[in-house]
């Protein structure tokens, strides 16, 4: 993709790129852009769970209320989802993790999985100011229900009002992007997910901080791509 120059080294070990940051930091947008420069799939636990809810299957019915309340779903359930998805052929050369791990238990499960495969984790911490996050989540975030592309009506609008640029589908707001639920999701991040930063540091994972509040999404993705390519 234009503007995303860095490519993985041909002989590099497969990498698990962990996109880390609070809700609204841009993990989803970055994960989708990074797929194009890293040539590895994006594994988004949030998207996978929403697909189950959409399909109204057993798993979807199990997690719907928890997600709508802004709480985290059980560790074993997401660990299983990621493990199964990561075994697909397209993930043989690595993958990008959007929204996983989110608890110490998940981080430990992922650590074991990567160690067994001899893969290298790389943590990208997307840092965005708290007030900016609240504005982003409460103020006009929209998603294409078909391809998952994310927009923001004020900072990153679609070309045609409320229509996905890529496939023409009408955009929707996420039901958990409102009022108290936003507050709950941010509380979950602070209490359960932020502590992972210490875990990553203790584990010696390559770790990079990226300013997720400045610059166009494409420029931020270019920076991340170069950082990941540098950790061969
Ligand atoms: P996201 O799309 O990443 O913001 O996730 C939306 C919701 O899905 C979260 O608020 C949680 O309810 C659930 N979820 C996604 N990923 C995880 C995870 N790794 N662990 C637990 N719950 C998750």
Residue 150 Cβ < 6 Å to ligand 1: no
Whole-number pLDDT of residue 92:
92
Residue 162 makes CB contacts below 8 A (sequence gap 6+) with 142, 170, 171
| CA–centroid distance for 191 within its chain | 18
Is 174 catalytic? The answer is yes
Of the residues 22, 26, 68, 72, which should be mutated to test ligand 1's pocket, given the most ligand atoms within 8 Å of the CB? 72
Residue 70 Cβ < 6 Å to ligand 1: yes
Using an 8 Å Cβ cutoff, are 113 and 101 in contact?
no
Which runs of E-coded beta strand occur in the chain?
15-20, 42-44, 94-98, 120-127, 141-143, 150-152, 207-211
Residue 82 Cβ < 6 Å to ligand 1: no
Whole-number pLDDT of residue 13:
78
Whole-number pLDDT of residue 147:
86
How many CB atoms within 10 Å of residue 99? 23
Residue 196 Cβ < 6 Å to ligand 1: no
Ligand 1 geometric centre to CA of 99 (Å): 6
What the block records as the tokens of 127 is 């840092």
Is 184 catalytic? The answer is no
Give percent of the chain above pLDDT 90.
Answer: 71
Residue 205 Cβ < 6 Å to ligand 1: no
Ligand 1 geometric centre to CA of 147 (Å): 18
pTM: 0.89
Q: Which residue, judged by its Cα, is nearest atom 14 of ligand 1?
A: 46
Whole-number pLDDT of residue 177:
87
Which atom of ligand 1 is least distant from the CA of 23? 4
Rounded Cα distance, 225 and 35, in Å? 10
Q: Which residue, judged by its Cα, is nearest atom 2 of ligand 1?
A: 46
Please state whether 43 falls in left (phi above 0), alpha (psi between -120 and 50) or beta.
beta
Rounded Cα distance, 45 and 99, in Å? 6
Low-confidence ranges of the chain (pLDDT < 70): 1-12, 232
pLDDT digits (tens, 9 = 90+) for 43-74: 999 999 999 999 999 999 999 999 999 999 99
Rounded to 5 degrees, what angle do the CA atoms 160, 164, 165 make? 70
Which residue of the set 15, 136, 141, 142 is catalytic? Answer: 141
Q: How far is CA 205 from CA 6, 20, 124, 208, in A?
A: 21, 13, 10, 10
């Amino acid at each position: 993709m234009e503007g995303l120059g860095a490519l993985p080294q041909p002989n590099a070990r497969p990498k698990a790129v962990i996109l880390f940051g609070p809700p609204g930091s841009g993990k989803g947008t970055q994960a989708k852009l990074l797929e194009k420069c890293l040539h590895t799939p994006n594994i988004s636990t949030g998207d996978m769970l929403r697909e189950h809810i959409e399909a109204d299957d057993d798993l979807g019915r199990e997690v719907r209320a928890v997600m709508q309340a802004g709480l985290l779903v059980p560790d074993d359930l997401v660990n299983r989802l990621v493990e199964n998805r990561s075994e697909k052929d397209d993930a043989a050369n690595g993958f990008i993790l959007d929204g996983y791990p989110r608890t110490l238990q998940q981080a430990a499960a992922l650590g074991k999985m990567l160690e067994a495969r001899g893969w290298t984790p790389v943590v990208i911490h997307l840092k965005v100011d708290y007030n900016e996050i609240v504005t982003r989540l409460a103020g006009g975030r929209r998603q294409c229900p078909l391809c998952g592309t994310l927009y923001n009506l004020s900072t990153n609008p679609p070309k045609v009002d409320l229509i996905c640029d890529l496939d023409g589908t009408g955009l929707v707001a996420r039901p958990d992007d409102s009022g108290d639920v936003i507050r709950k999701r941010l509380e979950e991040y602070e209490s359960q997910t932020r502590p992972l930063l210490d875990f990553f540091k203790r584990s010696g994972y390559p770790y990079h901080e990226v300013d997720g509040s400045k610059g166009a999404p494409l420029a931020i993705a270019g920076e991340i791509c170069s950082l990941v390519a540098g950790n061969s």
